[in-house]
Structure 1
Amino acid sequence: MHSKGRKKRPQVPEERKTLTKGTICRVADDSIAAELGLRPGDALLAVNGEPVSDIIDLSFALADENVELLVARQNGEEELFAIEKDYDQDLGLEFESAVFDRVRPCANNCVFCFVDQMPPGMRESLYIKDDDYRLSFLYGNFITLTNLSPRDFARIRRLHLSPLYVSVHATDGDLRASLLGNPRAKNIMARLRELSDSGIELHTQVVLCPGLNDGPVLERTVADLFALAPGVLSLAIVPVGLTRHREKCRPLRCFTPDEARAVIAAVSAWQSRCRAETGSTFVYLADEFYLAAGLPIPEYDHYDDFPQLENGVGIVRSFLAEWEETAAPKEGYATPRRIDVVCGVSASAVLAPLIAGLSLKNLTIRLVTAVNAFFGPSVTVTGLLTGADIIAALRDADSPSDGVIIPGVALRKGENIFLDGLTPEDVARVIGRPVRVAHFAADLKSQLAAWR
């Protein structure tokens, strides 16, 4: 790479401060950006004279070998950089956000919105309701398609932003509009067909609420979405999540074990049909249904290529498979050692037999099941445990251990922090014991075998 030159510009005029800009949060060592002297806090204003609204725009703009960057320094000055680079050479920049204008807010008022059930006083980012098609393409965030303009649809088609992840909930237009609290939600099938006909592939989901969109409504939804296959790649059905902070929300309830079994039976019939016709299961149930019903988790092949793992579909089976594939440790410990393994209520039934079957000399493993007092006992998944929940569970244990292993899934992705703002270090300080984080099955097994 050679920087052909750079030219300082005067301070940014007031009328230019409303331009979209990508604020830099990291500059890679030995990169083009580092050679140019760019620093965290600087902001990218334009590439080749054109503003960029997100990293999708940026990736296309940087495809050329000759590139001009307009950058706003932290002191308010602008600089123009002219660069020669290889076609596929990265600049070495990371940005505070993938979108440079603003994240598209949700325009709905869903009856089951989890954000509306958050307690007050938490960090601001937890109250953001995003519904941005760019984050759907980039990170797999689910969107509702209710805030897309014709220009947005045209851009999706032009840049072939595929696959997208769409929250459907019901294909009955009137019911969907009621569930989402938005009349624009009615035309979901037309929107899905438009995208599918344009070659955009879709992963879809249904948040299932007893008495609202289950039963015959769910049957129609599955049938309508399967009719759009292979444009619709998958459908995940997840149970509604309810916290204790629902004072201003519409009354809803969780599925009973019998109702969970009825959902499994109904969906199983569709799964058999889909596999017979396409070779793919197509419609998948979240693990919570099987755990609530007390039924076995489906086998590994049932989940195909695990298209909705991040949505809680197949996590248990994936965990079990990784545990089995990880070699059993052979060496034990020279002296007695006790280790606590923390999990949520749902995971307890999965982990208990695995831990019971792991025999190591001088090692005693205690499974500590943490009840979710923060969101309420109806929230049983491990991923929503808070630091305070874990501290309370460990304090209730009969006697202290030599160390504690906590689940990495409870930490915010990419950060070492629980939903309540505590960190593993905070937990260790309060309980007075070493705390380590295990990220999935192999990591848990290895930490139990080699605690130092």
Structure 2
Amino acid sequence: MGLVVSAVRKDSIAASLPVVAGDTVVAANDMPIRDLIDYSFALADEHVELRVEKAGGEELVLEIDKEYDEDIGLVFDQPFPGLRRCQNRCLFCFLDQMPPGLRTSLYVNDDDYRLSFWEGNFITLTNAGPHDLERIAGQRLSPLYISVHTTNPDLRKQMLQHPRAGLIMQQLAFLKSAGIEMHTQIVLCPGINDGRELDKTITDLAGFWPRVRSIAIVPVGLTRFRQGLYPLKTLLREEASALVTKVERWQQQFLKALGDPLVHAADEVYLKAGAPVPPAELYGEYPQLENGIGLVRQHLDALKIWLGGLTEPLGATQKITVVSGTLAAPILQEALHPLRRIGLDVRVLPIRNNFFGPAVTVTGLLTGKDIASQLKGKNLGRLVVIPSVCFNDDGLTLDGLTAADLERILEKPVVTSRDPRDWIRVLKAAGSGH
């Protein structure tokens, strides 16, 4: 019980207290501290009594007066002690399809409701017992992000390979009664949870509206390392097209009945089908952007606005190369075409995913080595732009390369971009010679 302090921020309230790294915060305002959620709840007050256990066993009670919701400057190395790992053996698990030798963090598969609330991670609730659900309700841990996949109890147990997977409808009902907002996802596996099963799942989840605020349909991802596992199929172009049509019907039905489109297909589905992505109004506040729902639309709209504001030529024509996964490359090339009018010759270069296999077509799963090997020796122009989705928070690709590494390999300046605003900054700088 408690949180172990790993650092004390300089010039913070805690810097003036007798607290150092290695001490343990065990309670606040007489409430035991189990994790960062408890700690944050306790600190959302102007007066806090903090009980701290020193490394030698001595206990101190520290009285702190602060602004409401002001952080006092303690840093914890393990903010969620006892992190719950996934106990499922999902038929479609992406981690089972990964080779050894990548970053260690890529093999960590959590299924912890605390991280669902805190960071937006998707959970299955198979390891959430009655006490966990009561805590979620009592502390109003909302919203939660829940991987449902199917509401058919027997099919869900088969897909997740967990005996508690069939409890999903009861769990969702409890969360609805507690007023918890939920964002749900369905990893669509052709021949398993599509067709009538998908219709039932959508209908069941819609019954929990307005607590279920979104339903995402994401096609299963398969890599070349999928060996000795349950045989699965990728979503074919004609199946993607049929799914787009079905989602459009659901959206119109829910808009009429609920005033909310509710269900969304991943951007990947529209790109694979060769269909236009929906307009922004169908995505609302983009609640599942990190799940690939509406990311293309948001980027296209932002690009259109910013490109529309560029009227002055940036000097002599400059050629640059933009990296993309094979799926999004055509639509991105079209979106960037207007840059020609101000003197930027942009070539979007689709990178084939040789590492995971050609069935993996999204930009975020490109490795540094694939990017380097397919760009090396080509006429790349003045610089190379790589979407920041290819890098983690430490600036590393899946296989541990940095932008600086790629610069050395390609012998060209390499920049990363986070969003369309970044695109414009980078492209203008490239064109103006800065």
* Same fold (TM > 0.5): yes
> 2:320·2:380 contact (CA, 8 Å) conserved in 1?
no
> 1:235·1:282 contact (CA, 8 Å) conserved in 2?
yes
Query: Which residue of 388, 403, 414 maps to 1:424?
Result: 403
Give TM-score, length-normalised by structure 1: 0.89
Cα distance in structure 2, aligned partners of 1:289 and 1:406: 23
> For 1:162-204, what per-residue CA distance to the aligned partner results, in whole angstroms no more than 9, with x for missing partners?
1111110000100000000112101211111011111112111
Query: Which residue of 46, 49, 52 maps to 1:67?
Result: 49
Cross-structure match for 2:426: 447
Q: Does 1:29 align with 2:14?
A: no
Per the alignment, do residues 373 and 96 of structure 1 end up closer, same or farther by CA in structure 2, a change over 3 Å counting? farther
Q: Does 1:269 align with 2:264?
A: no
Cross-structure match for 2:305: 325
| Cα RMSD after superposing both structures | 2.0
Cross-structure match for 2:361: 380
Cα distance in structure 2, aligned partners of 1:52 and 1:409: 35
**Alignment coverage as a number of residue pairs:** 427
Cα distance in structure 1, aligned partners of 2:309 and 2:332: 15
Query: Which residue of 184, 191, 205 maps to 1:225?
Result: 205
> How big is the shift at 1:370?
1.1
Cα distance in structure 1, aligned partners of 2:163 and 2:198: 20
Query: Which residue of 113, 116, 122 maps to 2:96?
Result: 116
Per the alignment, do residues 70 and 38 of structure 1 end up closer, same or farther by CA in structure 2, a change over 3 Å counting? closer
SS in 1 for 2:347: strand
Cα distance in structure 2, aligned partners of 1:36 and 1:142: 38
Which segment is superposed worse, 360-369 or 429-438?
360-369
Cross-structure match for 2:118: 138
> 1:163·1:202 contact (CA, 8 Å) conserved in 2?
yes
Per the alignment, do residues 245 and 396 of structure 1 end up closer, same or farther by CA in structure 2, a change over 3 Å counting? farther
> 2:3·2:76 contact (CA, 8 Å) conserved in 1?
no
Q: Does 1:102 align with 2:97?
A: no
Cα distance in structure 2, aligned partners of 1:118 and 1:288: 21
Q: Does 1:181 align with 2:154?
A: no
Instruction: Kindly report which structure 2 residues correspond to 1:280-299, keeping only aligned pairs within 5 A, or say none.
Output: 280-299=260-279
> 1:24·1:44 contact (CA, 8 Å) conserved in 2?
no
Cα distance in structure 2, aligned partners of 1:138 and 1:409: 21
> How big is the shift at 1:21?
2.9
Cross-structure match for 1:394: 375
> How big is the shift at 1:333?
4.2
Could you tell me which runs of 5 or more consecutive residues in structure 1 were left unpaired when the two chains were aligned. 1-18
> 2:25·2:50 contact (CA, 8 Å) conserved in 1?
no
Instruction: Kindly report which structure 2 residues correspond to 1:235-246, keeping only aligned pairs within 5 A, or say none.
Output: 235-246=215-226
Cα distance in structure 1, aligned partners of 2:220 and 2:419: 25
Cross-structure match for 1:353: 334
Cα distance in structure 1, aligned partners of 2:5 and 2:230: 39
Instruction: Kindly report which structure 2 residues correspond to 1:404-419, keeping only aligned pairs within 5 A, or say none.
Output: 404-412=384-392, 414-419=393-398
> 2:51·2:60 contact (CA, 8 Å) conserved in 1?
yes
> 1:329·1:449 contact (CA, 8 Å) conserved in 2?
no
The one-letter amino acid of 1:227's match is: G
The one-letter amino acid of 1:232's match is: V
> For 1:147-168, what per-residue CA distance to the aligned partner results, in whole angstroms no more than 9, with x for missing partners?
0121111111111111111110
SS in 2 for 1:112: coil
Which segment is superposed worse, 367-376 or 219-228?
367-376
Cα distance in structure 2, aligned partners of 1:163 and 1:400: 44
Cα distance in structure 2, aligned partners of 1:226 and 1:63: 34
Instruction: Kindly report which structure 2 residues correspond to 1:246-265, keeping only aligned pairs within 5 A, or say none.
Output: 246-265=226-245
Per the alignment, do residues 350 and 77 of structure 1 end up closer, same or farther by CA in structure 2, a change over 3 Å counting? farther
Cα distance in structure 1, aligned partners of 2:166 and 2:337: 51
Cross-structure match for 2:324: 343
> How big is the shift at 1:96?
3.0
> For 1:292-340, what per-residue CA distance to the aligned partner results, in whole angstroms no more than 9, with x for missing partners?
0111111111112211111100000000111112253334444553221
Per the alignment, do residues 416 and 37 of structure 1 end up closer, same or farther by CA in structure 2, a change over 3 Å counting? farther
Which segment is superposed worse, 55-64 or 162-171?
55-64
Cα distance in structure 1, aligned partners of 2:178 and 2:193: 29
Cross-structure match for 1:6: none
Q: Does 1:212 align with 2:188?
A: no
Query: Which residue of 140, 154, 159 maps to 2:139?
Result: 159
Percent identical among aligned pairs is: 44
Cα distance in structure 2, aligned partners of 1:33 and 1:338: 52
Cross-structure match for 1:86: 66
SS in 1 for 2:79: coil
The one-letter amino acid of 1:238's match is: V
> For 1:326-365, what per-residue CA distance to the aligned partner results, in whole angstroms no more than 9, with x for missing partners?
2533344445532211111112022111222212555332
The one-letter amino acid of 1:68's match is: L
Which segment is superposed worse, 320-329 or 109-118?
320-329
Which segment is superposed worse, 213-222 or 323-332?
323-332
Cα distance in structure 1, aligned partners of 2:405 and 2:18: 37
